[in-house]
Copies of this chain bind each other. A is one copy, B any other.
């Protein structure tokens, strides 16, 4: 039998806390899971620093990737049972697309590294490009498996992830407002953080999904389930993904990596144990795929543990703050109060902190939030409902709830600073006491304010 069609003699199951079971039927899928590139995802946490706020969130990209695969498999099953294509071009589901969809689902995050968002930002890596690279480079085990299906198969799978694959149904399963990726991470992150905001009725959503010429639509009578999903996502961003303490830990991580690059820029003594040899290619922006695949959460934290004893006091202190969870504090600001930040930075500098490494501003826009917005250009952001007579109608035009949050700003802008600035009676730094007092006058109800009487 062709490898492409080879079924396992007996369907294999993985016990999963979110989906109960994950069902593996194709030899190809099992072989992909067993590659070293995919197993490496066991060592990369899904939510990065968020686990320092929601301690249960220790799950990895490995489990998430299996979940995305499983949801995609269920979509294919539903499509094949209820909407099998009869004649080419009828807009229904062609089950010969199943394997490419499943592979793309399983591998869509294979290019992620440790603490991806921060790492990418500092070292200008790009997990999407790396994903494509892993799929199509002959040196990887993943590529070898895909190539065994057919020579062009690796590129096909990559094109699904890159959204250039010709069949929009397959693309939208993996990347759209309501795709297998988002559905899995909302449910899984909710499960592990222990919040209930992310729960929605997956079974019902799968039931009302249906293929059509231009992709995937939802039956009209499923509107409330879709609404519930959109609202759940909105709430997860507000509650989990934009949490100020999690962002504060990201600030520390980011500054820590920057500092390390500065410190290790010059020649390093080869005898130095603490030297982050595996990061050098990234410091110099001269890394290759093999370099990248050696990194995981443990590699980074092992360096951080070494750096805690480094000679550079900033490197050492930031490593300590990250590993031992000493987040920066923060306060909201807006356009009107933004100019006050310069003064606050001065005060922080006077208190003895290097303001480049101990302060930051960021807004939650930086995060990959994709609030439902049909006005945006990317076709991704449109959810189509199909009426009884087959006509489509865009979700926000019929849902008051979704309309209400469409395109709404939902994040916040924050200024981050050392917790020490809030100390009332600092014993060791008595001399600077007025600095702290002055600083604290600018904070009220979690807002940056212009103090009264100034």
A interface list, Cβ under 8 A from B: 11, 13-18, 20-21, 34-36, 39-40, 42-43, 51-52, 54-56, 58-60, 62-63, 66, 82, 191-197, 199-201, 203-204, 207, 220, 224, 227-228, 231, 234-235, 238-239, 270-271, 273, 277, 294, 296-302, 305, 320, 323-326, 387-389, 391, 400-401, 403-405, 408, 410, 444-446
A193–B15 contact, CB under 8 A?
yes
Supposing A203-B21, A224-B197 touch, asked if A400 and B389 sit within 8 A by C-beta, the answer is: no
A14–B273 contact, CB under 8 A?
no
B195–A15 contact, CB under 8 A?
yes
B238–A224 contact, CB under 8 A?
yes
- Given A20-B203, A55-B62, A294-B305, 14 further pairs, Cβ under 8 A: A15-B55, A15-B56, A16-B55, A21-B207, A34-B325, A34-B326, A42-B52, A42-B58, A43-B301, A55-B66, A220-B445, A296-B298, A389-B444, A404-B405
Write the chain B residue with the least CB distance to A63: B55
From B197, B294, B326, B388, A228 is in contact (CB under 8 Å) with B197
Supposing A231-B231, A299-B305, A387-B445 touch, asked if A194 and B51 sit within 8 A by C-beta, the answer is: no
Copies of this polypeptide in the complex? 4
23 A–B pairs (Cβ distance < 8 Å), ordered by A = A15-B54, A15-B55, A16-B56, A17-B193, A20-B194, A21-B207, A34-B326, A36-B320, A43-B301, A56-B63, A196-B228, A220-B445, A227-B235, A231-B231, A231-B401, A271-B271, A296-B301, A296-B305, A298-B299, A298-B300, A298-B302, A302-B302, A389-B445
Supposing A194-B15, A401-B231 touch, asked if A446 and B388 sit within 8 A by C-beta, the answer is: yes
From B13, B34, B36, B324, A34 is in contact (CB under 8 Å) with B324
Supposing A294-B305, A305-B299 touch, asked if A323 and B36 sit within 8 A by C-beta, the answer is: yes
In the complex the two chains form, what is the Cα distance from A302 to B297 in whole Å? Answer: 9
> How far does the Cβ of A5 sit from chain B's closest Cβ, in whole Å?
17
Write the chain B residue with the least CB distance to A308: B36
Supposing A55-B66, A298-B298 touch, asked if A224 and B228 sit within 8 A by C-beta, the answer is: no
Most buried by B among A52, A55, A195, A207: A55
B203–A196 contact, CB under 8 A?
no
Set of chain B residues within 8 Å of A300, measured between Cβ atoms: 298
